[in-house]
Amino acid sequence: MKKLTIFSLILLCVLICYFSVSKNDGFSVIKILSASDFYIDFNKNNVADVNELVQLFDLIPDDTKLSKTDTEKLNYLGQEFAIKTLLGKKVRLIKDDNQNVSVVLADGKNYKNLLIEKGFFLTPQNYNLVRKNLDSLDENKLVSYNPYSKKYHKFNCPHAFSSMNYKILSKDELPKDAKPCKFCHTDLIKISENKEQEKNYNYPKDVYEKYSPLYKDKYMEFYVTDFTKYYYPSSKCLTTACQSLLKEINSARKTIDFAIYGIDNQAEITNALKSAQKRGVKIRWIYDTDKKGNTIYSETFILKKVLSNAKSDIDYSSEIRLHNSNIKDAIMHNKFFIIDKQKVWTGSANISHTDLSGFNANSAVLINSSDIAEIYQREFEQFFSGKFHSLKNKTFPNETVLASSTVSVYFSPQDKVIEKQIIPIINNSKKYVYIPVFVITHKNLNTALINAKNRGVDVRIIVDATSAASRYSSVKLLRSSGIKVKTENSAGKMHMKSAIIDDKYVIVGSMNFTKSGEAYNDENILIIKNTQLAKAFKQKFLYFYTAIPDKWLYKNPQAESENSINSCHDGIDNDFDGDVDMKDSSCRYSVKKYPAKKI
């Protein structure tokens, strides 16, 4: 009997150990997208489900000095390492006190630390090791392959990384039906030999819009600039959005406080500000610079010579600098004006000839409310006292009822508006979520949109062509999840940072739907609950959506090419590569034809 009892105890211990190990030995990695993006089979059905995608970190920091070619080589090496190290293996996910997720291998090693140790994750400390790995890889054995066009490119090809769909493969991994790019493998007939295609397009210029807010009531005017009707940028105040701002500046009696990313080629606005100062209006303003004191809008410094009561986001007081030595180099990305402490004009439009002219699509709002103005004034005073970015205080209170509108004001980074406000609204959506936005990369927002689509909500998105081509863009993920994402194909940009939800909510402001926009930059965001406004904005969104051909539901036109209307003739470097119009290689070569495809 005693032996039987001992045997039973031993068997029980073995069973406990077995089930404990079985329960905690992790989950299998079943698909690798990159060194940091892979699918873990949490439900153990051996299928890479959408909600099983784990996205951990970027292999390469935003401020890296690596070339584009080296960046892609490191991504390729990291992916190869991930395949060898993770694919088919069991891992565990562990969260620290800050909710950061780490992957732990079966042998107990931290996966990210292993990447750093082997030189497949770039840090300031292991640059030499990373450099050694890059130099050992022969880039001539690699190609950039587009699975949609089935073309492959050399790394030095202008088209190698232009599509968001490209993959880096070794030549022996290419499918049998892959075709070499004619540009980087053979000579291609230039468009310059085709006089018909090189002609200047006779689109209208400098067409003034009749003053017509999309929505108007006693307290509010809402504006949307129509980029389908403007083919060239202009320094003139052509749109209702610009005209409203100009009118408010000219009407100001006592004070104008404004925070802008910068100013460029907007003479009517700058002259109005100068005139206001001359007639005794007190003007203070905030603008953005990097840590070296540079700004992307050079006219900002010209205006400062006249309107001298100005500060940039690197103008911290000595006391603030003394106690905050690790201040992050984020951007001051706001675009708001406070007039006489009574009215606020704000939105996505920079004070530039591309935004206020209607060339780019933007949304803006004018609110006549001392309560709203006071909320913005508190934010402005923080700036003027030298508090920017993470040093600012949380916004409170922030909700105001104005007739049929409930207006809530939020600021980045202190209010975490995507996580705490926008995602919950999307999670409760019933009918539709329409998003016109310059760029979308926020991972948890992506998840909320995918979940909404899966429960039957009509989710549609319009994004900018330049941002869609970025490797950080969420366009590919969202499309693969069945969400209808159209890329605009005009010369101007889809520059809005907005959303319309269920004929109820309108979101408008300066914040792109990214982690940087929410967590680092200075931004302002309004969530307006107003049925009539939401319905009016919805109709405008659907107008834009219909105007974009359906073929751009699954492809992305190059921002500067004959596939983007007038972008090769507008005098603007639309894709930021340093070449303008017909000097850009994507304008000099034949138009790429894409057949229509049903989604």
**Which residues are tagged catalytic?**
495, 497, 502
Residue 124 and residue 432: Cα distance in Å, rounded? Answer: 45
Residue 158: which of 41, 226, 291, 69 has the closest Cα? 69
- Do residues 242 and 230 make contact, with C-beta atoms less than 8 angstroms apart? no
In terms of C-beta density within 10 A (0-12 exposed, 13-18 middle, 19 or more buried), how is residue 468 classed? buried
How does DSSP assign 208-254, residue by residue? PPP---SEE-SSEEEEE--TTS--S--SS--SHHHHHHHHHHHH-SS
Given strand 90-95, what is the order of strands in its sheet? 53-55, 37-40, 27-32, 90-95, 101-104
- Do residues 433 and 457 make contact, with C-beta atoms less than 8 angstroms apart? yes
Q: What's the chain's length in residues?
A: 599
- Do residues 141 and 170 make contact, with C-beta atoms less than 8 angstroms apart? yes
Residue 166: which of 51, 75, 83 has the closest Cα? 75
Backbone angles phi, psi at 157, to 5 degrees: -80, 135
Residue in this structure with the two tokens 């989604």, named with its chain if needed: 599
User: What is the residue type of 585?
Assistant: S
Residue 521 and residue 449: Cα distance in Å, rounded? Answer: 23
Chain-centroid distance of CA 382 in Å reads 26
Q: Which ranges constitute the DSSP H helices of 91-239?
A: 111-118, 127-136, 182-185, 195-198
